[in-house]
Structure 1
């Protein structure tokens, strides 16, 4: 599989060095930064600590977008723990420290990311999980939302559908009208582009919601 890689670095010398690390790998094809270029992976190398300009670059590139945006590999000297969620939101799938890069490390990371893997230093993994937990408990749960994007009322309806209840029975169990149940289902399926109740239930099961 030919993986198209676009490289951004702080300066021309740094960019040339990053490209040199990737050029020898048979699966990787470094592409130029031109209009219409659609890379599979974006590699961003930063001098020092990651800042707002880096996240702005990632957003402009479309990294992390659901419709064909590239996944991103971010190489830097230091990462601020408070920026981890923002990095994930901006499509970063791998965080690599410049000091820890060895021959073949970057190329292997790019190939892994192109296949759907995510890479992060161990010390940051626990921090990210703690941040996600706080996001869920302090922001999403009070608003009736879950990390999957499914609202708690939608989750309740899907759980009952999975257990075999009909619409009128669900309305009784949730103390609401049949119309409310139908509206909840329609809103969910329209938002997530699901084509049936069974599709919605399968989505929720894959997301671990029910």
Structure 2
């Protein structure tokens, strides 16, 4: 658990949002087990670095909430289709878990990944995302505007890998990985890593 939770020396404030008090309490309890996280409530929840949102389905209200949040959003949903997953990522959601898969380890991992800008999506949805209907693909990206290094980094981001893991896998420094992802999002005017992954999937580059 220590390796999963090590983002930096500061505690990561995380809020839990759910209509069902039992689900909210369960998620909060799981997150408190990580020593690098602090679950916040009330006014502090509005500015939390990460918000875990537990819902039954991905609808317009959920997408609007994701866009409005200042911090990262990890969405825990009862069921989700590839189309819904794509819309969630494009709305800025940085973590997506099915409720049945959201045990303490996976939920904590998704929150810590979101805290550093990484994106976590269920592996079985990644292949299907290419065929999902979403936003038009950036012309530059559709034209093959990614280098081999950028494509390799982005592919691992799509798998939900953390910056340190990507650096180790590709024999780069963590700083290089961060710079590569930043360059991609800036060059194609994308909102964040999650948005970059969604566009690359739509363009068939991953």
Q: TM-score under structure 1 normalisation?
A: 0.57
Mapped to 2, the partners of 1:54 and 1:206 lie a distance apart of 26
The 3 A distance-change label for structure 1 pair 3 and 119 is same
The 3 A distance-change label for structure 1 pair 128 and 103 is same
Among residues 4, 25, 29, which one is paired with 2:13 in the alignment? 4
Among residues 58, 78, 89, which one is paired with 1:50 in the alignment? 58
Mapped to 2, the partners of 1:206 and 1:130 lie a distance apart of 25
Aligned partner of residue 146 in structure 1, secondary structure? helix
**What CA RMSD, in Å, does the superposition of the two structures yield over aligned residues?**
3.3
The farther-off stretch of 85-94 and 31-40 is 31-40
Mapped to 2, the partners of 1:59 and 1:22 lie a distance apart of 23
* Cα deviation, residue 203, structure 1: 5.2
Total equivalences in the alignment: 143
Give the conservation status (yes or no) of the 8 Å contact 1:59–1:90: yes
After superposition, where does 1:129-140 map in structure 2 within 5 Å? 129-131=130-132, 135-136=136-137, 140=138
Residue number in structure 1 paired with 2:33: 24
CA distances 1:21-40 after superposition (whole Å, capped 9, x unpaired): 11121111111142784111
Mapped to 2, the partners of 1:11 and 1:112 lie a distance apart of 25
Aligned partner of residue 140 in structure 2, secondary structure? coil
Give the conservation status (yes or no) of the 8 Å contact 2:31–2:104: no
Mapped to 1, the partners of 2:54 and 2:64 lie a distance apart of 14
Aligned partner of residue 95 in structure 1, secondary structure? strand
The 3 A distance-change label for structure 1 pair 128 and 27 is same
Among residues 22, 43, 46, which one is paired with 1:13 in the alignment? 22
Higher relative contact order (CA closer than 8 Å, sequence separation 6+):
2
Matched, 1:60 2:68: yes
Structure 2: state its 5+ residue gaps: 1-9, 146-181, 189-206
Structure number with greater Rg is 1
After superposition, where does 1:113-192 map in structure 2 within 5 Å? 113-131=114-132, 135-136=136-137, 140=138, 145-147=139-141
Give the conservation status (yes or no) of the 8 Å contact 2:12–2:37: yes
* Cα deviation, residue 132, structure 1: 8.0
Stretches (4+) displaced over 6 A: none
Q: TM-score under structure 2 normalisation?
A: 0.58
Residue number in structure 1 paired with 2:84: 83
Give the conservation status (yes or no) of the 8 Å contact 2:49–2:71: yes
Mapped to 2, the partners of 1:205 and 1:53 lie a distance apart of 26
